[in-house]
Structure 1
Amino acid sequence: MTLRYRVGFFTAACLLALGTSVGLASAQKAPTIPYEKFTLPNGLEVILHVDRSVPIVAVENFYKVGSGDEKRGRTGFAHLFEHVMFMGSQNVPVGKFDEWLEAAGASNNGSTNFDRTNYYETGPSNALPLMLWLDADRMGWLLPTMDKEKLDLQRDVVKNERRQSYDNVPYGRAYETILPVMFPSNHPYSWPVIGSLADLSAASVTDVSDFFRQYYAPNNATITIAGDFNADSAKTWVRKYFGNVPRNAEIARPVVPAVALKKDTVMMMEDRVQLPRAYYVWHSVKAFSPDDAALDALTDIIAGGKSSRLYRTLVYEKQIAQDVSMGNSSSKLDGMIMLTATAKPGVHPRELDVEIAKAIADVAARGVTERELIRVKNGMRASTIDRLSSVLGKATQLSYYNYFTGTPDYMAKDLERYESLTLADIQRVAKQYVAGQPKIVLTVVPEGKKELALIAGDLR
């Protein structure tokens, strides 16, 4: 459930090796991304960022639709359309979208999560008109070419992707086992982004066409252009290619109530795995909520990397775990904290549970150290700078901030959320959201080894 445009935190040691003073992160000026934003009469948002450093341009088409906009029985449509959008449109025959871009030296891809679907191209600056024209044609004129043959082809691709990512990989079904317990059945986060095989099989051309009409409209999209281009020319091309795409009716977003776990839920699942793995999941907060940054810091300190408390204890010192990780995933409607730990051969997960409970209780009771907090702050700054290392990275960041905060260049304020954190903040959220709070505990065990699962009596 990786829903944020972030990379892993750097450790303080890495920063020191690079010659960066651990204590100086907050003293450096936050980076900015100069931009221009305007809206076409049909509702399409356009964000421009000119960067002349290299003759490369990136275009991101950000559609405000993800699996969180689906309904039970009609799951997987957002991700399915991520694939269908590459199948040609009224003026682009099947296969030509990729072929024409590649001939111009450009590449393209897309992705889907709970909250959005994006499509992006990167290539030489002179390919910008082609990129925009291709994107406009599939936004406005894909449906006339939609037929059952295309749908069946991409349906089979998505089904195979599901098998490769969920059904036929070790521990692959853990995530979708947790979601319906974390969220009630009518909550749009209670199913995985890829959807169910049954829903994908049942989807008709009419079903997916209705989904496209509702969400793939200019008034539900943002086009971000970043790189080496002339802003006036880009505006002309955007108006020419996208200006005639008709807007759709305003979208009524799902209203979901606040969700909370009321008690611990302990589960076990057999799988074709060699080692037992324990999953601990707590409710978190929405993206950019007041406690979002503090929870990011907390999870990083407990088990966010090789310098974290639990990694040192479980993997290095006691050598009872193959791996351990923890993260805070915050999305538009809700969030969740997940900790995973895989036992070493011959080790029962209850040995891991003792150390996990001890580490969490220690943070809640005694807090964290100044050094740990500085490491997190420096790590966030380092990852922020890394995200700006390419024009595509800038484009995705501008689109992301625009959707979640309404301000494309929100980076300085985003960093301030972390740089203003105090030791008391970390201790408080440890108590409020994790230590002693209701959680889901799932143990995935090798087939026929149910005795390796954690039970309620094992939990500390």
Structure 2
Amino acid sequence: METFSVKEHRLDNGLRIVLAPDLLNPVAAVCVWYGVGSRHEGPGRTGMAHLFEHLMFQGSRNVPGNGHFALLHEAGSRPNGTTNFERTNFTETVPSHHLELALWLEADRMGGLLDALTQESLDNQRDVVKNERRQRYDNLPYGTAWERLVAMAYPPGHPYHHLPIGSMADLDAASLQDARDFFVRHYTPDNAVLAVVGDFDPEQALGWIRRYFGGIAGPSYTAAPPAAVLPELMGSGSRTVVRADVPSGAVLHAYRMPRDGTREAEAAAVALAVLGSGRNSRLKLRLVRRDRSASSLSSGLIRLTGAPSLGWLDIKASAATTTAELEASLDEELGRFAITGPTEEELVRARAHLERQLLTRLESVGGRADELCRQATFFGRVERGRIASTALAQLDAVTADEVHAFAATRLHPSNRAVLVFEPGVAATVPGEDATR
């Protein structure tokens, strides 16, 4: 994994290129990151970045309809796209002899999507996104949990206050001109990174890229205004209780965390892994395996660069346990962790868990291409051929004292939003928030 070289280039139109040949398998991955996510959406226009993730597969200048999917499927690839708060990405891994096709397709939609964007395609994908919202959020038990937590962690008016899925009202309000304006503002070459990893000749690939992408022009990208200054810590806790038709009670926490790219962010990842990753993590041992007060428990870190990152805990109560009892046990364990920090055994186990996740992600050419795009987009650099070893060294450098200090300051009641789901009929109760 660490034997390939990395070369960076930039076209005159601003497109950043990262090429990393790796001849182990006869495949090549193409990844394009655009520096646009839900944080770049204006008031009343939530959901636009995610909507465009879908529209990018709905035809371009020389590829009508679903032709992008069809051509790549015929080539043996399964293309994909995702959107988060800060970026939109598109990836495909193809047999090496189809690399030129993949590059041409990416260039055709970067430079020619507006030629194919119609009211019909907009309406079609608007309906698809609205249905996705119904299936994943509105009509699913606990489906609004993540949306609520994010809104509690980032105040109204802040660019990170809403999820990429957007609201039904804003999706309905989006016009064809709104969509065209959004594309022109954000889908420019100088707001994109193109990475190619795998079995290919760098000079040949660079020639194709110059041929297909070099002529794409357009207005220079104008960066969105900086996010409103937000304290790294919430300063005071918040709490919302939701009565809903759910199988059991649930307790969810959200914490403001250090920004990605910092040593403190690695300590945050280790701390959350100590608490909730793996069957022998501290909270699972206590709440799931010993007390059996929780039926399931998960934790994670959403790494962000334009605002404090977001750490979370998601705990479902067992049938015989009330949410009040669950919260009491949870607070007891979190308080103990803030006082004692991790044991050496917990630290080793958490590092191993995170390292396994990292290596699993980087074992494919697609995973490495995505990571190179991430580094170039958010940090303006790439680790030249040492993606895994650099990341592993950062994890190994985190000490027990750092995790202890992190837990004492960040995993604190004054820096958390608490969301509680109580089974029952949705109703407005004093001090509680009925489901939407």
Q: What is the TM-score with the length of structure 1 in the denominator?
A: 0.89
Seen in structure 2, the aligned counterparts of structure 1 residues 283 and 33 have a Cα distance that, compared at 3 Å, is: farther
Q: Which residue of 2 aligns with 1:403?
A: 377
Instruction: Answer yes or no: is the 8 Å Cα contact 1:79–1:193 preserved in 2.
Output: yes
* 1:145 aligns to 2:119 (yes or no): no
* 1:303 aligns to 2:276 (yes or no): yes
How far did 1:91 drift? 0.9
Instruction: Answer yes or no: is the 8 Å Cα contact 2:184–2:218 preserved in 1.
Output: no
Q: Which residue of 1 aligns with 2:358?
A: 384
**Identical residues among aligned pairs (%):** 35
* 1:427 aligns to 2:399 (yes or no): no
Partner SS, residue 291 of structure 1: helix
Q: Which residue of 2 aligns with 1:95?
A: 66
Candidates 187, 205, 218, aligned match of 1:216: 187
* 1:363 aligns to 2:337 (yes or no): yes
Amino acid in the other structure paired with 2:64? P
How far did 1:72 drift? 2.1
* 1:159 aligns to 2:136 (yes or no): no
* 1:267 aligns to 2:263 (yes or no): no
Seen in structure 2, the aligned counterparts of structure 1 residues 32 and 182 have a Cα distance that, compared at 3 Å, is: farther
Candidates 12, 16, 28, aligned match of 1:45: 16
Alpha-carbon deviations, 1:274-297, whole Å to 9, x = none? Answer: 101111122112112231111111
Q: Distance in 2 between matches of 1:343 and 1:252?
A: 44
Q: Which residue of 2 aligns with 1:24?
A: none
Amino acid in the other structure paired with 1:96? G
Instruction: Answer yes or no: is the 8 Å Cα contact 2:245–2:426 preserved in 1.
Output: no
Instruction: Answer yes or no: is the 8 Å Cα contact 1:293–1:417 preserved in 2.
Output: yes
Q: Distance in 2 between matches of 1:444 and 1:243?
A: 53
Amino acid in the other structure paired with 1:419? D
Amino acid in the other structure paired with 2:401? A
Q: Which residue of 2 aligns with 1:133?
A: 104
Q: How many residues align?
A: 426
* 1:343 aligns to 2:317 (yes or no): yes
Candidates 400, 409, 417, aligned match of 1:440: 417
Instruction: Answer yes or no: is the 8 Å Cα contact 1:183–1:189 preserved in 2.
Output: yes
Instruction: Answer yes or no: is the 8 Å Cα contact 2:21–2:202 preserved in 1.
Output: yes
Partner SS, residue 141 of structure 1: helix
How far did 1:372 drift? 1.0
Candidates 313, 337, 344, aligned match of 2:286: 313
Seen in structure 2, the aligned counterparts of structure 1 residues 449 and 193 have a Cα distance that, compared at 3 Å, is: closer
Amino acid in the other structure paired with 1:224? A
Amino acid in the other structure paired with 1:54? N
Amino acid in the other structure paired with 2:407? A
Indicate the RMSD between aligned Cα atoms, in angstroms. 2.0
Please list every run of 5 or more consecutive structure 2 residues that lacks an aligned counterpart in the other structure: none
Q: Which residue of 2 aligns with 1:241?
A: 212
Q: Distance in 2 between matches of 1:454 and 1:32?
A: 58
Alpha-carbon deviations, 1:225-278, whole Å to 9, x = none? Answer: 111111111011100000000042232233120234232212111222110111
Q: What is the TM-score with the length of structure 2 in the denominator?
A: 0.93
For structure 1, which segment, 97-106 or 389-398, has the greater mean C-alpha deviation from structure 2 after superposition? 97-106
Partner SS, residue 98 of structure 2: helix
For structure 1, which segment, 385-394 or 407-416, has the greater mean C-alpha deviation from structure 2 after superposition? 407-416
Partner SS, residue 414 of structure 2: coil
Amino acid in the other structure paired with 1:420? A
Instruction: Answer yes or no: is the 8 Å Cα contact 1:32–1:411 preserved in 2.
Output: no
Instruction: Answer yes or no: is the 8 Å Cα contact 1:90–1:145 preserved in 2.
Output: yes
Structure 1: 4+ residue segments shifted above 4 A: 30-33, 449-455
Q: Which residue of 1 aligns with 2:347?
A: 373
Seen in structure 2, the aligned counterparts of structure 1 residues 31 and 55 have a Cα distance that, compared at 3 Å, is: closer
Q: Which residue of 2 aligns with 1:19?
A: none
Instruction: Answer yes or no: is the 8 Å Cα contact 1:445–1:453 preserved in 2.
Output: no
